[in-house]
Amino acid sequence: MSKQNKTITESARTVSYMLNNKRVTRGVGLFKDRQSIGQLAVREATRISTAFLKTVKDFIEITFEPAAALKKDNAWNIASSRIRKEAIRGLYPEQQIDFSSLCLSQGDLPPVDNLELKVEKDRLEYSWNPGNTRNGMLWNDKVMLLVYFPEIKKAEFILSGANRNEGKQIFIPLKFAIPRVIETYLTFISSNHKTVSDSVYTGRLIW
């Protein structure tokens, strides 16, 4: 059996000793916490999605609840997973959300036909075909709207808006002294909240 003679050279990072008349130096915990670029990218994507979801928590807890019930999970986890898989763009450490690919609700309920969004001086005006033109549509499905201000990381939303058969909804987001970029979304939810549509991205605007 060979003998190991540990030398004086020892620290929290390395330890050196003689093995078979050869000096050996090995790391002690040196690489334990070192992460690959891929691992760092995953952590950054999680950080970005978490920060965003905190601003829209009240919204996604409703719009992802039907999917969460089916998967026996929670709304936060499903929303976070979709953001990380579908809406994070760029390479670490320059990752960011692609808001046009962001999904803020998940379900089988049809959204709307002939959707339009007009920007007036003091309000946003949404309109759509009020008829029940596809299977699953009901007259009393409720519209839900969300506006996100990426520059200040703030969201405003309507959780229970007009009925589908009304064909329109007015939204008056907060106005700032300096015009701001807004990212806009629309979804429909059944009156009993058991079914919901996938969200529709209605565009980036200056507000």
Query: Which pLDDT band, with edges at 50, 70 and 90, does 44 fall under?
Result: very high
| Residue where the block lists tokens 């965003």 | 52
If phi > 0 it is left, if psi is from -120 to 50 it is alpha, else beta; for residue 77 that is alpha
The whole-angstrom separation of Cα 52 and Cα 182 is 14
pLDDT of residue 21: 66
Among the ranges given (69-78, 97-106, 129-138), the one the predictor scored with the smallest mean pLDDT: 129-138
Reported as a single tens digit per residue, the pLDDT across 148-199 is: 999 999 999 999 999 999 999 999 999 999 999 999 999 999 999 999 999 9
pLDDT of residue 167: 97
Decide: 129 and 113 in contact? Cβ < 8 Å. yes
Reported as a single tens digit per residue, the pLDDT across 126-152 is: 999 998 778 899 999 999 999 999 999
Reported as a single tens digit per residue, the pLDDT across 81-94 is: 999 999 999 999 99
pLDDT of residue 3: 43
Reported as a single tens digit per residue, the pLDDT across 7-40 is: 434 444 566 666 656 676 665 544 456 889 999 9
pLDDT of residue 132: 77
pLDDT of residue 5: 45
pLDDT of residue 115: 96
* Annotation: CATH topology of 37-206: Immunoglobulin-like (2.60.40)
pLDDT of residue 4: 43
Q: Compute CA 188 distance to the chain's CA centroid, rounded to the nearest angstrom.
A: 18
Q: Between helices 37-55 and 75-86, what is the axis angle to 10°? A: 130
Strands (E), 42-95: 88-89
What the block records as the tokens of 83 is 């953001």
pLDDT of residue 14: 62
